[in-house]
Amino acid sequence: MYRVSALVIAPLVLAGALAPVGDLARVQQHLKAVATMTADFVQTDRNGRMLTGTLTLKRPGKIRFQYEKGVPILIVGDGKALTFVDYSVKQVQRWPIGGSPLSILLDPDRDIGGVARVVPSADDTILSIEANDARHPEYGRTTLIFARDAGAPGGLMLKGWVALDAQNNRTTIRLSKQRFNLPVSDGVFRWNDPRVRSRRPG
């Protein structure tokens, strides 16, 4: 089985101490201002192993992590469910979008007030939000990293996140080449089910 940390699909469980209203409002404005986003990503695990791929998001409810060629996994949200597909072992796991950690990212109308803690930074161009959910310790702890950028939607650019799981395994996602609010077809979020056997002709 090809293993990829669940932290990749659990970056946005925001729970904990209150964030300053100004910074929290900026995050909410950013989420509301982004209808679609595409970006390249680099994923680094605790052993320093790196995987690359492309991220495509379309609100509400749709997201796709397409890994580099040769990595037989896919993570995709089709608006109803979030699906993890491992083509190497023909395994599929699904979670309802509304109950997934990505629901905040995928639902711009969700109120995140009262659930985030801003991490102090010596660099005032960076806004970091630390998150954990006491109800779901298996999600671990995640720090979302935004750059303050007047040219980006809502004045913020999501640069990535750093996540620690319940066993303190660290996974880092770095985003680059972000592009916002361009047309994205719903077909991008379709996927092939490896459990379905193709029929032989004749």
Report the number of secondary-structure helices (H) and strands (E) in the chain.
Answer: 2, 11
Domain of 51, CATH number, reads 2.50.20.10
Q: Is residue 201 part of a domain?
A: no
Q: Which domain covers residue 35, as residue numbers?
A: 6-179
Q: What is the pTM of this model?
A: 0.80
How many domains is the chain partitioned into structurally? 1
Q: Is residue 67 part of a domain?
A: yes
Q: What is the DSSP letter of 33?
A: H
Q: Is residue 190 part of a domain?
A: no
Q: Is residue 63 part of a domain?
A: yes
Q: How many CB atoms lie within 10 A of CB 18?
A: 12
Q: How many CB atoms lie within 10 A of CB 104?
A: 22
Q: Is residue 51 part of a domain?
A: yes
Q: Is residue 87 part of a domain?
A: yes
| Residue-level pLDDT, tens digit, the chain, 202 residues | 555 554 455 544 333 334 445 887 888 889 889 999 999 999 999 899 999 999 999 998 899 999 999 999 999 998 888 899 999 999 999 887 765 556 667 777 766 665 667 788 889 999 988 776 666 666 667 788 999 999 999 999 999 988 887 788 898 999 999 999 999 999 999 999 998 765 444 4
What the block records as the tokens of 178 is 């972000």
Provide the CA 48 distance to its chain's centre, in angstroms. 20
Q: Is residue 199 part of a domain?
A: no
